[in-house]
């Protein structure tokens, strides 16, 4: 393991610039950390904050969520987007109760074995909730390391084995310091080394950044296209789910038909919601959130 030449400067920057987020509080539970990590996937902090607070107020433990229905998890998810994450959290809570007595496990392997918990989430919870030494590689971290070490503006579309090797090579030896390094690099990517308008003048390691030293060369890989939302199946799914979330009970098909004029797209979106377990078709011909 090589010495991390960036650690001291990045940790000092984090100490003075980190956002005061509730899931970083010293008294937050591992369950609170797990919920935050699932909610923050592809969703900005500003949207997650009120949802996280409301979720933890209603379901402060995995047992509280597991005792409620999956449909209530979907309803509570609101407009955070990618609502299958609500189902995964419900399944995860149920597994934590059944396998671990209601306590979020501190073992990385046990976390990875939970439904809906992938490589990133397992590493993040083990690191941020339990102070363990794991490479936490989210979009922000990948971008920072790609610029800082490899001198390229953007990382590959999907994480590579080489990226994991690089992240692991930079982990400080002391677990607690490694955990803080992980969140500090993540924060640096969120606040300074941003995707579109990096504020290199505010970066604590700009003098050692390979991308800056190379003259900030532009991305030369496949074009990076933003995700369109208007008119997509995702928008239709969101409108259908909004009707079901706001309804006190099952909804007639005619009510769902009214949310989108294009029948073929509407039916495709509804079929997708049913296939994903987010909507239950009832024998009455009505539709409801899952029980």
10 Å Cβ neighbour count for 247? 16
The burial class, CB within 10 Å (0-12 / 13-18 / 19+), for 151 is middle
Which secondary structure element, helix H or strand E, spans residue 281, and what is its range?
Answer: strand 280-281
Which secondary structure element, helix H or strand E, spans residue 245, and what is its range?
Answer: helix 233-246
Q: Which of 91, 76, 42, 67 minimizes the C-alpha distance to 244? A: 76
Which secondary structure element, helix H or strand E, spans residue 212, and what is its range?
Answer: helix 210-213
Residues 6+ apart with CB under 8 A from 31: 56, 60, 61, 62, 96, 104
Which secondary structure element, helix H or strand E, spans residue 288, and what is its range?
Answer: strand 287-288
Cα–Cα separations (whole angstroms), residue 191 to 145, 199, 201, 206, 237: 15, 8, 12, 14, 32
- Decide if 57 is catalytic: no
The one catalytic residue in 15, 37, 146, 283 is 37
Q: Which of 180, 183, 182 minimizes the C-alpha distance to 167? A: 182
Radius of gyration of the chain, Cα coordinates, nearest whole angstrom = 21
Residues paired with 288 in a beta bridge: 280
With tokens 């995700």, the residue in question is 227
Instruction: Transcribe 30-52 into DSSP letters.
Output: HHHHHHHHHHTTTS-HHHHHHHH
Active site residues: 37
């Amino acid at each position: 393991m090589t010495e991390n030449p960036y650690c001291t400067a990045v940790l000092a920057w984090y100490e003075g610039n980190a956002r005061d987020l509730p899931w970083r509080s010293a008294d937050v539970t591992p369950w609170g950390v797990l919920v935050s990590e699932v909610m923050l996937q592809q969703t900005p902090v500003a949207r997650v904050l009120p949802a996280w607070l409301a979720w933890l107020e209603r379901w402060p433990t995995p047992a509280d969520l597991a005792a409620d229905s999956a449909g209530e998890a979907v309803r509570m998810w609101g407009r955070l987007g990618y609502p299958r994450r609500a189902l995964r959290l419900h399944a995860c809570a149920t597994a934590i109760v059944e396998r671990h007595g209601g306590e979020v496990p501190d073992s990385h392997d046990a976390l990875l074995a939970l439904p809906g918990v992938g490589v990133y989430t397992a590493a993040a919870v083990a690191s941020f909730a339990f102070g363990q030494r794991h490479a936490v590689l989210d979009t922000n971290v990948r971008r920072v390391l790609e610029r800082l070490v490899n001198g390229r503006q953007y990382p590959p579309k999907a994480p590579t084995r080489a990226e994991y090797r690089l992240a692991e090579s930079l982990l400080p030896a002391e677990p607690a310091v490694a955990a803080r390094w992980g969140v500090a690099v993540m924060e640096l990517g969120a606040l300074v080394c941003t995707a579109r308008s990096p504020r290199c003048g505010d970066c604590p390691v700009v003098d050692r950044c390979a991308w800056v030293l190379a003259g900030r060369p532009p991305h030369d890989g496949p074009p990076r296209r933003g995700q369109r939302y208007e008119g997509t199946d995702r928008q239709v799914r969101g409108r259908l789910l909004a009707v079901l979330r706001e309804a006190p009970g099952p909804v007639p098909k005619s009510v769902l038909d009214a949310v989108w004029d294009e029948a073929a797209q509407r039916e495709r979106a509804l079929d997708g919601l049913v296939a994903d377990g987010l909507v239950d078709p009832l024998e009455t011909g009505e539709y409801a959130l899952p029980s």
